Amino acid sequence: MELQAVLMAAGGGSRMMDLTYNTPKPLLPVGNRPLIWYPLNLLERVGFEGKHSVISENKPSKVSLKVKMISTTDILVVSCDLITDVALHEVVDLFRAHNATLSMLMSKVHEFTETVPGQKGKKKAGEQRDFVGVDVTGKRLLFMANEADLEEGLVLRKSIMRKHPRMLIKTGLLDAHLYCLKRSVVDFLVHNKSVTSIRGELVPYLVRKQFSKSLNSKNATEDTEKNQKQQDAHHNLELLSTSKEEALLQLARERSCWNDHRGDMSEAYHGGKLRCYVHIMEEGMCYRVNTLAAYIEANRVVPKLFEDPPIHPTAVVSERSLVGSDSIIGPICQISEKTSIKRSNVGTSSTIKEKVKITNSIIMNGVTIEEGCNIQGSVICNNAVIGRGADMKYCLVGSGQRIEPEAERTNEVIVGSDQLMEI
């Protein structure tokens, strides 16, 4: 088996707690399908047949793999909140052709244009930037750091500059959290339990490790702040990867007249065994649904991709209602007359009564909207009930909440028991 897929379905959606305090993030509906459907669909389209998914306890960022099961092949890690139409072979080809240790996917960040409910004032776009350094070909990953980890400035090691004098540093890239990892990395993770987050710790570690001096088993001279256990783990990684390079492959590479760089006297890959590659998507869709803004954007864009009929056949839509062409209605819905639905997604088994006006909104499953309501730019979560005549603008109504009739809310987030009002 060449690759096994691991779907990271953990992660509680810490940046959108209002949506996820009741529903686990993988099951959030996007375009009337659970969020986890999209990466699964991507994997299936490409040819994966058996998948492993890991659901772990809530941890703030990427969880390390409890890997008793997966140690026989290389793995492809996908996050459950990734919606993309990337040609996956681009990422995997880098992994195959260069015998890379890590191959990942990144994409240009899209600006979110929709108004996000509950947002007070404009959010600063430049927080928590990622700095990604690639070589001239744009494929080899030389440097990766998050702004949060850098104290004063960007520090580049001389050894990197000597080997790759031309480096392009890019910000404004979105990490799609799709990684191809070699088996030796998985074994390294198993031995080294202190690495908890793939994106936060493992990937920058691997990128740095590309340029560390090759270690003798006793003298580990760099990374002095790491403890002894991790130093042993370093050797582990080196040893595991070198034992795989067979003598024949070495011979083939020696006889081959190819080099990945020119201008200095070293052989291909500078003789390094560890290589990290990145595929940066120029065009195409790539969303990570981990914030409310991303969630809304995804709901906007995704229905256009798939060829499903906008109105599900089992939905009951009365003739005198107006459903716009860019809206989608889920199964078993009931849309009563004189209702107008524009640019919105209505989820499964929702009931919309008469004379309701819904624009630019996301209505999840099991929602009841009484007559005469006016809902604009809002997100209504599962099983909420909006009372008669309510007027909601840019609001987020949490799961199971009830909004009193004749309520007028603008730009509010309505969750929790203190907001509940009995009708």
Beta bridge partner(s), residue 351: 334, 368
Residue from 17, 125, 150, 249 touching another protein (CB under 8 A): that is: 249
**Stretch near another protein under the rule CB under 8 A, chosen from 127-135, 251-259, 277-285, 335-343:** 251-259
Q: Does 98 bind another protein (CB under 8 A)?
A: yes
Angle at 118 between CA 29 and CA 397, to 5 degrees: 50
**Residue 346 interacting with another protein (CB under 8 A):** no
Amino acid of residue 132: V
Q: Does residue 248 bind another protein (CB under 8 A)?
A: yes
> Of residues 151, 225, 246, 282, which one binds another protein by CB under 8 A?
246
Segment 64 to 83, residues that bind another protein, using CB under 8 A: 73, 76
Closest residue by Cα to residue 56 from 223, 245, 197, 251: 197
CB of 51 to another protein, least distance (A): 11
Rounded to 5°, the CA angle 129-130-134 comes to 145
Binder to another protein among 92, 207, 384, 396 (CB under 8 A)?
Answer: 92
Q: Mask: binding to another protein, 29-58, rule CB under 8 A, as x and -?
A: -----------------xxx----------
Name which of 362, 62, 67 is nearest 203 in CA terms: 62
CA pair distance 36, 9, nearest whole angstrom: 8
| Between 254 and 307, CB nearer to another protein | 254
Q: Which of 152, 225, 254, 283 binds another protein (CB under 8 A)?
A: 254
Q: Which is nearer to another protein, 155 or 248 (CB)?
A: 248
| Residue 287-316 contact track with another protein, rule CB under 8 A, x = bound | ------------------------------
Give rounded-to-5 percent helix, strand, coil for the chain. Answer: 25, 25, 50
Length of the chain equals 423
Judged by CB, which is closer to another protein: 99, or 321?
99
**Stretch touching another protein by CB under 8 A, among 16-24, 91-99, 128-136, 399-407:** 91-99
In the complex with another protein, the residue whose CB is nearer, 79 or 291, is 79
Side chain identity at 416, as an amino acid letter? G
Residue choice 14, 53, 71, 99 for contact with another protein (CB under 8 A): 99
Q: HEC profile for 186-249?
A: HHHHHHCCCCCCHHHHHHHHHHHHCCCCCCCCCCCCCCCCCCHHHHHHHHHHHHHHHHHCCHHH
> Judged by CB under 8 A, which of 15, 51, 59, 96 binds another protein?
96
Q: At what angle do helices 37-46 and 88-97 cross, to 10 degrees?
A: 60
In angstroms, the CA 404 to CA 416 distance is 14
Minimum distance from residue 74 beta carbon to another protein (Å)? 9
How far is Cα 211 from Cα 195, in angstroms, rounded to an integer? 20
Residue 86 Rama label (left phi>0; alpha psi -120 to 50; beta): beta
Residue of 113, 217, 256, 417 interacting with another protein (CB under 8 A)? 256
CA distances from 339 to 144, 275, 318, 321, 348 (A): 51, 58, 9, 5, 17
What residues are paired with 173 via a beta bridge? Answer: 108
The count of chain residues that interact with another protein, using the rule CB under 8 A, is: 32
CA atoms within 13 A on the CB side of 5: 23
Is residue 241 involved in binding another protein (CB under 8 A)? no
282 binds another protein (CB under 8 A): no
In whole angstroms, what separates CA 235 from the centre of its chain? 31
**Stretches 118-126, 219-227, 257-265, 408-416: which one binds another protein (CB under 8 A)?**
257-265
Task: Pick out residues in 125-154 that bind another protein (CB under 8 A).
Answer: none
By C-beta, is 155 or 265 nearer to another protein?
A: 265
Residue 265 touching another protein (CB under 8 A): yes
Q: Is 89 in the site for another protein (CB under 8 A)?
A: yes
**What's the closest the beta carbon of residue 222 comes to another protein, in angstroms?**
26
Does the footprint of another protein cover residue 21 (CB under 8 A)? no
Decide: 102 and 182 in contact? Cβ < 8 Å: yes
Residues at the interface with another protein (CB under 8 A): 1-4, 46-48, 73, 76, 87-89, 92-93, 96-99, 246, 248-249, 251-259, 262, 265
